[in-house]
Structure 1
């Protein structure tokens, strides 16, 4: 049998012993600590000596950060597929894409019947499993129209709403041994998950052949089906005369042909032995990976996702898919792939990129940048994908999606130093910092990614007390246009360090940020809904109260037009940065006078609770046409213009964010964000068909503005550059650009043209940049 070219996976098959639950959890944690990929557990719901597998999976996923989890395998007759689909998607979302679905047709029928399950014959079990797989994928497919309906004999679904979609494309691995189950594996599954000791009849060679034949008959490439293997009779201390009965080097020698000749690419050890687990992860797995990689290079084995002819036909012109580096082969999503719908759009903007690359480390980011430079298509970089400005996706180009690089670390609690990867969401950052009594002001929406916000500015709920997010950045790691990975701070590449704090997307792909967090535990959070019939008056009073409030108070105001005869309304969010309830009450009470209050609430809450990430899907569903500006004060004239905008019906929402306070303590030239005198940020957004009217209203407001907040502006016309970067900031940025990105590779984030090259001595021009 051939090597199917899959990335190798290594893991454990642990006993869910109900008499010692702490031990099984500790072994799962050791699985992760040893560098293994996957922890799996038996599922025998009728056995009172075992923990419930689904509960255990959830618990282990919560106790680990990187580890994938799966049952080995779930007992389908006791887990109805419609409910299982929702449970699986939920756990996958909660674990950020770390759940896989090992599934079986059922066994131990007396126990199943004893719990109310239906006994099935082998043929019936296969048919029921086929129906279940169809239901699972139907529930997960939120792109399909209408409710899910199936007339199944075993699992009828009269009509259910689809969703939620999982966080990643969950693999369905089948525990299969007999010909009908093996055929079903080839026809529908993503993987085959047997136990070596049970592979008596048919043998491994015959089983693989049956899977391949069924796949081809179903129009599938057999390489799409991963071959996994449970290994129980293994020992490190044996005499070395049996299979996997000896030292690590013997394991590597004996497993290597199973990869190269039989196509297995995942090995799970079924021994609850800490020493064995540690050795498997730290010695055997790395050595086998190295040996397999060497053999594959020599034989030219194809690796990476296997795509059908239909999928290949969806490839877009302008991209050389075959030139993709081997390091990225398993990290890409193309049009036609099942995951494409989940990665093509940002939250606010629709997109149809030709290729989405999802690197998992800085070296892969460098490979992605180097590859993208060779393709004559647009390049976008995406962290969290909220993307109000529309620059994190594109049509027909390449997107480097940083979502897999999402680690959050507290490096030193005493100095409050933290390290964030750009794909982390700010809600998750808040949750990770909360146990340490730390927080970071970081916008007002927990689903926003770290990378975009922390390189643009970062106007968050704590901004007047603690300043912008970029003001806390003390170092960064960035892949520049030539593929170099640089560490930048005040002493290393200081001009680049200055530039990425305010204009970061123009200079490379930030792969990590180090920041100094703030001592924050609980805050007082209040929300008011106000009748804004007197729109200009509400805005003026709110603005004056914000400027007069102590720095502990940060406030955002969202203004909505009246509908169906109702007046405009304002939703006011107030955050007092601290747990002094009396001080908060004194500071926040005056805001009750800004207008007729229709609803109010206030509470003392952990900071993490007010920026909890909702986990929304990104389907380009936001208001994608927006303008952004900064105000020194909400003057009577400016308030009148903005009141006219919201009353016109042409503007769907206006949002005002308070800045000032600690933001304005920073020198204008300390970062590439130079706006250190203003007190408010204002955003206006509408639907696409009303964009011309929005532009006219914004022209009326423009004279009252001074500056612009980059991430909220969808107009990237060159003349807007000076709004974002007034001189001398722009000239300084152009000089940095000429040094680190002279070819303007990163040209979608309000493209800053490189400064012209300096003429060489003697008058010869060494070549001009794009300016």
Structure 2
């Protein structure tokens, strides 16, 4: 019995004939339409009768939406691994994680040598392939520091910059038949990709055993290696004419032992036959999946991620990993898993959670919340990981990471209704809405996730013209602490709908938001850098100009302390919400008088261009100690105190963001964000060893503040709750909390205590 428990996959293995390129592309599109999982192509670069496989892969990736793509198998001697690594990662990112790498050591050496590559013996080819895999993985490894250096005989890398990282962990599948290649498959590959008709010596059983033995010797679990199989001599007909040549029922009967007894889990049809491709997707695959599920039911074969003994030793003792629902088995990341380093931290905080769950739909969020409730460990929820408070990671607990729920949809252009999933990044939202002439003001950094910002506030570049992000939320879907998936709006659970617009992290996991976007095409974007030696006068002038400016103008001002003999500097961002250049120039020009201008630039730009998501990795690299407050006006007293702060050297950055305008058009009690009279948001941030000094300086500014903006505050002391939600807002939130989360399951994000049931 050698069932490795892998999810079944099915696909096609197509011939890239050059004389009819449209036909091979049509067959690839049919592969997707038939519900199959994977399309692969032969790779013979020396054959002038074939299209170039890499070009074809790229073209098919652009013509499909769901289908995985791979060479079957790529000829390594003609595709140097350092270049191949970058090409593969690029194609994977462009296709949103749909590329896998089938790779071979080389065949048809006359043709390979004729194109200028060095002829290798079989043993040399295996050594070269081993080196190539190390190069590929080294280039893709974004957790390693410094350049990639490998001392290889065939593929030396003296010093190569790593990256880019693929969109997902690309599988490397080897076309292997002989013992040395099979051993290499077990030692380093993610999959074995032979062709059934070529499997003569050793046979399939012996080959599987050699792979398993090599895997164990290398400290790997044999289940880490997927077994794929190309099938050429096959057909579907009404009567049997041989192996896999007969009716659908015969296919199921003959493929079933290959799954349950020999461990194969991916079957690729090597015939360019549209009827066969359709039958495979619509009849054979569903029937075989059903038969395998029936045989596996109640068995001991694991179907989740494969983890080595070393990885299992990294598990936290306080968590019951075995209780994780099967629906989440392939969605979880544990300490010791390859992806753990990429999901454990946030932008500002380091974390070491016991488990990170990445659901792909609302039903899986329900399962994740239900599971987390059974564990006596912290629970964090993450949308984008930029929350400055750092509460979207933890140590030893569960993190529900929403990054895989990232759809952006325009539901109705006429009413400007859009639907956003919480894991989407605001820069990507801007790109998706731009073709419709729509936008949504949402902070200033495109990597920030939708979920956190759109349930807290949303002070963006268009705030004075269009208000906060939460002011445009018209409905939401949320999983509550008791595992219910609710749709909330003004008519359905209106109390909860009110609460999540300003205090959302306290009430559940938002799985989707519907908003009314607004008409925005191009904006005027300007940046100034000013000498801030005379900090207080500069702040006062800037503040007054902002209040006097038309609503179309929103401005952010960042202060940086002087360094290396240079004076403090102010960076001012100005965004005019419209493409009227003359009106924008009139609104922007007065800001040139705020102080000595060191640099200036302005441009008319599409809104998405000013919030492009950089895709930074999260390693806890941000400033983790911040203080936040709101100002009605930049008064002389407040300006003097902020000058003292930035010139103390103990504050790394201060930032003022303009609110007011449309933000203050909303009634104080319309949402759970009650701050509708202030004109500015203020934050100050520093490094951990200077936090005491920051606290002392902030205490002097505090009497001049009125409220705080949650997204910029890292101090979650309960005493700050009334700053965030002054009464009667806090009392109303506590009552709603008692109704929807009486056990305080969601207690990491400025936790609101449930109201006393007696009260």
Q: Shorter-chain TM-score category?
A: over 0.9
- CA offset at residue 149 of structure 1? 2.1
Matched residue, 1:610: 610
Q: Distance in 1 between matches of 2:657 and 2:274?
A: 53
> How far did residue 381 of structure 1 move?
0.8
Q: Distance in 1 between matches of 2:671 and 2:291?
A: 48
Partners of 1:62 and 1:715 in 2: CA distance:
46
1:288-324 deviations in Å (ceiling 9; x for gaps): 3343333222323212112111111111121011111
Matched, 1:332 2:332: yes
Whole-Å separation in 2 of the counterparts to 1:232 and 1:584: 66
Q: Relative to 1, partners in 2 of residues 1:16 and 1:557: Cα closer, same or farther, differing over 3 Å? A: farther
The number of aligned residues is: 759
Q: 2-side partners of 1:275 and 1:435: how far apart?
A: 38
Residue 120 of structure 2 corresponds to 120
- TM-score, scaled relative to structure 2: 0.95
| In 1: Cα distance, 2:635 partner to 2:11 partner | 63
Mapping of residues 551-570 of structure 1, within 5 Å: 551-570=551-570
Instruction: Report deviation, 1:556.
Output: 1.4
SS of match in other structure, 1:406: coil
SS of the counterpart of 2:715? coil
The residue number in structure 1 matching 2:582 is 582
**3-state DSSP class of the match of 2:330?**
coil
Range with bigger deviation, 364-373 or 406-415: 406-415
Partner residue in 2 for 1:148: 148
CA distance in 2 between counterparts of 1:423 and 1:244 reads 44
- Cα deviation code 1:440-492 (max 9, x no counterpart): 21111111111111111111122222221112212211111111111111211
The secondary structure found in structure 2 opposite 1:219 is coil
- Measured against aligned partners, the alpha-carbon deviations of 1:664-701 in whole angstroms (never above 9, x if no partner) come to 11121121111111221112111111111111111111
Cα distance in 2 between the residues matched to 1:29 and 1:574: 47
Residue in 2 that maps onto 1:765: none
Give, in angstroms, the shift of residue 46 of structure 1.
3.0
CA distance 1:248–1:546, shift in 2 (3 Å): farther
Q: Secondary structure at the match of 1:186?
A: helix
Report which stretch shifted further, 39-48 or 419-428: 39-48
- 1:501 maps to what in 2? 501
1:348 Cα offset (Å): 1.4
- Offset of residue 189 of structure 1: 0.7
* Structure 2, gaps ≥5 residues long: none
Paired residue for 1:769? none
Aligned residue in 2 for 1:469: 469
Q: 1:294 to 1:385 in 2, by over 3 A?
A: farther
Query: How many Å apart are 1:363 and its aligned residue?
Result: 1.3
Distance 1:316 1:233 in 2: 50
Compute the displacement of 1:24 (Å): 4.7
State yes or no: 1:533 paired with 2:555: no
Q: Is the 8 A contact 1:168 1:339 kept in 2?
A: no
Determine the C-alpha separation between the residues in 2 that align with 1:530 and 1:282. 65
Deviations, residues 577-618 of structure 1 (Å, cap 9, x unaligned): 222222222222222222222112212221111111111111
Paired residue for 2:373? 373
SS in 2 for 1:454: helix
Cα 1:119–1:128 shift into 2, 3 Å: same
Q: In the alignment, what sits opposite 1:571? A: 571
Q: Is 2:430 the counterpart of 1:430?
A: yes
1:612 and 1:465 map into 2 onto residues whose CA distance is 21
Partner of 1:722: 722
Alignment of 1:50-65 (within 5 A): 50-65=50-65
**TM-score, length basis structure 1:** 0.94
CA deviations on 1:691-738 (whole Å, 9 max, x unpaired) are 111111111111111111111111111111111111111111111111
Structure 2 Cα separation of the partners of residues 76 and 242 of structure 1: 35
Q: Verify: 1:136 aligned to 2:136, yes or no.
A: yes
Residue range with higher mean Cα deviation, 61-70 or 673-682:
61-70
- Counterpart CA distance in 2 for 1:16 and 1:588 is 57
What is residue 664 of structure 1 aligned with on the other side? 664
| 1:172-571 matches, cutoff 5 A | 172-236=172-236, 239=239, 241-245=241-245, 248=248, 250-272=250-272, 276-571=276-571
> 2: CA distance between counterparts of 1:506 and 1:250?
55
Q: Does the CA contact (< 8 Å) of 1:186 and 1:215 recur in 2? A: yes
Q: Could you say what the CA RMSD is over the residues aligned between the two structures, in angstroms?
A: 2.2
Q: Which residue of 2 aligns with 1:594?
A: 594
Shift of residue 107, structure 1, vs aligned partner: 2.0
Tell me the equivalent position of 1:163. 163
| CA offset digits 1:360-413 (Å, max 9, x no partner) | 111111111111111111111111112322011111111111111111122222
Gaps of 5+ in 1: 760-771
Contact 1:349 1:387 in 2 (8 A): no
Q: Following the alignment from structure 2 to structure 1, what is the Cα–Cα distance between the partners of residues 545 and 246?
A: 75
Partner SS for 1:299: coil
Shift of 1:239: 4.1
